[in-house]
Amino acid sequence: MTPVRSIVSILLLVTVSFTTAFGNALTVGSGKAEFQRLRWRGQEIRIAISNSLTRPSPNIKADSDVLGALQRSLQVWSNVADIKIQSDLSDQQSVSPAGVAGDGVSLITIAQTPENVLFFANDAESVSAKTRIFYNRRGMITEADIVLNPFQQFSTDGTFGTFDLESTLTHEIGHLLGLRHSAVMGSTMADSFARNGTRGIVDLSPRTLAESDISGIRDIYGPKPGDEQCCSSISGKITAATRVLPAMRIWAEESSTGRVVAQGEAGADGTYRLGGLSAGDYKLYWKGQEAQVLNAFGPLGEISVGAIENKLFNPKLVLRTSDLSIQYLGLNGRLADFSVPLAGGSSYTLNVGGKDLDDARIEFNTPFVSALALPAVAQEFGDGVQGLTYFISVDRDIPVGEYTVTLTHENGSKTCMIGGLSVE
């Protein structure tokens, strides 16, 4: 493939990451600090809503539906898993201090108290909210406090330049329940999304859980009572010719559609688990997280699971490296490190930014998205970011979900962005 070259002015977007501050950490034998798999002991969880959220606040746009956003962000998780979240109003304002135990109250607040301001001392401009979690030696959560950044602005109506309050709360409540950040770019639990209007659109998709979010929370707490088709799991141990495995992300896609449905991390010994799955046929993939294989990815195999089945799958990995690197995706002359929203029955010019992209062809793990038979356009995005613009078509019958973007170099090296395309 010989790309057509042009020079354009592209806005490189700055995203805002979400941070979860854990009260305790577990140090494992690998020498790296890792977090336990956390969950609340019972299925009923009680949260206090600070009155800093219900009274007028300079950080929340006037006339915002604050209580509605709160209730919907709590309910969206209860709708898919065997949990019940109760909330009450409270006069309490501040996050519990870091340590082995909190104050016994799980709080959601935006108050500008010294404790809350100090919580954002190192990243007041780069995060919109944080969650501090306390847990015991068994990995049971005993308290969790969510603090909305008192240096940022929120709204519920898509006001330009603000963070969507409901999306932010839904993400942080996922942390409160025990979920970590997800590698699936279009998921609610992805580690970044944009302020309203950043891409010229108001994207409220993080309010709605992705399939990978749903499988993740079901794997912790189980499905809603009466759901006889859920849940199954795929687990095992990955081996390779080399003795030491790199840190890896593992994810599953539906074999027929290519939708991303679950994701997780492999342990230092290659063990992995993807739970909360419905019965079906899945393709498993890996992607490196360490420098020497950071951009490489590949298939692990295809496997079928029945209803409420725990399937053991021990794939052997062929390690690869890749010079290709995708860092950003975008539409309409913009780039960002969050997912690209698409609609069925449409065609798009898809911008891809990264490094060493020359002669890379774009591919998709789904039959519902295809690259048009047009040459890619080479772009100069600035700030050392090389880019290509591809012309793609989305089938009108594409199912709602997240889909992976793949680049393949003529030398065979590959890289991808997991769930980089999001269809609502």
Instruction: Please give the mean pLDDT across all residues of the chain.
Output: 86
pLDDT computed for residue 199 by the predictor = 66
Q: Three-state SS string across 334-390, please?
A: EEECCCEEECCCCEEEEEEEEECCCCCEEEECCCCEEECCCCCEEEEEECCEEEEEE
Weakest mean pLDDT among 117-131, 271-285, 318-332, 341-355: 318-332
pLDDT computed for residue 10 by the predictor = 37
Q: Which two tokens stand for residue 191?
A: 């580690």
In this prediction the pTM is 0.90
Kindly state the DSSP code that residue 187 receives in the 8-state scheme.
Answer: S
| Under 8 Å between Cβ of 365 and 398 | no
Task: Give me the sign of the Cα torsion angle 144, 235, 259, 84.
Answer: negative
pLDDT tier, 294 (very low <50, low <70, confident <90, very high otherwise): low
CA distances, 213 to each of 130, 179, 315, 321 (Å): 18, 9, 24, 29
pLDDT digits (tens, 9 = 90+) for 210-225: 999 999 999 999 999 8
pLDDT computed for residue 164 by the predictor = 95
Over range 270-287, report the average pLDDT: 95
Over range 289-305, report the average pLDDT: 84
Over range 135-156, report the average pLDDT: 94
| Under 8 Å between Cβ of 271 and 313 | no
pLDDT tier, 4 (very low <50, low <70, confident <90, very high otherwise): very low
Residue among 214, 194, 217 nearest 205 (CA): 194
Q: How far is residue 294's CA from residue 418's CA, in Å, rounded to a whole number?
A: 13
Omega within 30 of 0 (cis) for the link into 416: no
pLDDT computed for residue 201 by the predictor = 67
Strands (E), 31-118: 33-34, 39-40, 44-50, 84-90, 107-109
> CA 67: distance to chain centroid?
25
pLDDT tier, 11 (very low <50, low <70, confident <90, very high otherwise): very low
pLDDT computed for residue 243 by the predictor = 67
Q: Is the pLDDT of residue 318 over 90?
A: no
| Under 8 Å between Cβ of 169 and 151 | no
pLDDT digits (tens, 9 = 90+) for 21-43: 444 432 222 223 334 589 999 99
Work out the percent of the chain whose per-residue pLDDT is above 70.
89
Q: What are the helix (H) ranges across 246-369? A: none
345 CB burial (10 A radius; 0-12, 13-18, 19+)? exposed
Over range 298-311, report the average pLDDT: 94
C-beta neighbour count of 269 within 10 angstroms: 12
The answer for 63, left when phi > 0, alpha when psi is -120 to 50, beta otherwise, is left
pLDDT digits (tens, 9 = 90+) for 117-126: 999 988 888 8
Q: Is the pLDDT of residue 393 over 70?
A: yes
pLDDT computed for residue 93 by the predictor = 96
Over range 46-67, report the average pLDDT: 95
pLDDT computed for residue 247 by the predictor = 86
**For the chain, which domains are there?**
4-12+326-423 (2.60.40.10), 36-179 (3.40.390.10), 215-317 (2.60.40.1120)
Over range 68-83, report the average pLDDT: 96
Q: Is the pLDDT of residue 170 over 80?
A: yes
Integer Rg of the chain from CA: 22
pLDDT digits (tens, 9 = 90+) for 238-268: 998 876 788 899 999 999 999 999 999 999 8
Over range 190-205, report the average pLDDT: 78
